[in-house]
Amino acid sequence: MSVERLQLLDWKRQIFALYERIRRSPDPAAAWRDWRAVRHLLFTSHPQSPIPEPARASFMEVPYYDYDPAARALADVEESAPVVYDVPTSEGGSYQFTRFGAARFELHGQTLRLDLFWLEGYGGGLYLPFRDATSGAETYGAGRYLLDTIKGADLGAENGRLVFDFNFAYHPSCVYDPRWVCPLAPPSNRLPVPVRAGERLVARAAPPGGPVVFDREAGERPIEA
């Protein structure tokens, strides 16, 4: 058990260091390439990879949309009356989240809004799950994460506004293995537009003339709003 904890500590150190480089980088595209490369290395070789160990040797790569400079936005935060949610886990416990405000931002010429959540407990952290018009088809149906600062996923801020760079959106671990517990996006955090940036699902071969089908797994623990 102590070995597993030290492995988890090493995973967290690498993720925190990666996002620190992202925040400091003057070139978002170069930072994104670094993000992809480090995630590939961790997913294919680290003991704490979300990929089940028997599948790591044959795992090719995490699939992504092409980098889109227009998928980066700055968000204004609006405070609201806090609402607390208890999200159950598969082990009989729960996570406690507080919805404390909302973020408004422009993406592809549209003004959009997402609720912001704070993970309660030791240290706490900002947590931002979302769904969009690709969810359930091109991306995981229960949503993706953009920010999860307690685990290091923090894109920073500029001039008092949060950085929302959807090129860094990623799937929760339960996409790869249902043993992971993943609190996910509430209905209020579904964007009405497709966000074709960040991590996506893998397209499988379709019969001639048939639709493209995307691989996806279950295992979500939704926040009810």
- Identify the weakest region by mean pLDDT among 52-56, 142-146, 159-163: 52-56
**Is 184:223 a contact under the CB 8 Å cutoff?**
yes
AA identity, residue 219: G
Confidence of residue 225 (pLDDT cuts 50, 70, 90): very low
Classify the C-alpha dihedral 184-153-134-34 as positive or negative: negative
Structure tokens at 185: 């996006």
Q: What is the DSSP letter of 220?
A: E
Block residue for tokens 């993943």: 182
CA dist 38 and 1 (Å) reads 25
When pLDDT is averaged across residues 36-54 and rounded to a whole number, the result is 95
When pLDDT is averaged across residues 193-217 and rounded to a whole number, the result is 63
- Cβ within 8 Å of residue 167, ≥6 positions away: 28, 32, 65, 67, 68, 71, 72, 197, 198
- CA-CA distance, 81 to 99, in Å (whole number)? 8
pLDDT of residue 205: 39
Q: What's the chain's average pLDDT?
A: 88
Judge contact between 11 and 51, C-beta under 8 A: no
Q: Which pair of structure tokens corresponds to residue 31?
A: 């930072």
State both tokens at 195: 């966000």
- Mean pLDDT confidence for 67-80: 98
Which two structure tokens, joined as six digits, stand for 124?
């706490």
Tokens of 198: 């960040």
- Residue 218 has a pLDDT of 35
Residue 174 or 159, more confident: 159
Higher pLDDT, 178 or 130: 130
Which of 183, 184, 188 minimizes the C-alpha distance to 114? 188
Assess whether pLDDT exceeds 60 at residue 3. yes
Question: Does the pLDDT value for residue 212 go beyond 80?
Answer: no
- 92 pLDDT band (50/70/90 cuts)? low
CA atoms of 170 and 147, how far apart (whole Å): 9
Mean pLDDT across 46-66: 92
Question: pLDDT confidence of 181, banded at 50, 70, 90?
Answer: confident
Q: What is the pTM of this model?
A: 0.88
| More confident position, 135 or 96 | 135
Measure the CA angle with vertex 152, ends 58 and 108; round to 5°: 85
pLDDT of res. 152:
97
Kindly tell me if the per-residue pLDDT of 193 is higher than 80.
yes
Least confident of 5-19, 82-96, 200-214: 200-214
Max Cα distance, the chain (Å): 53
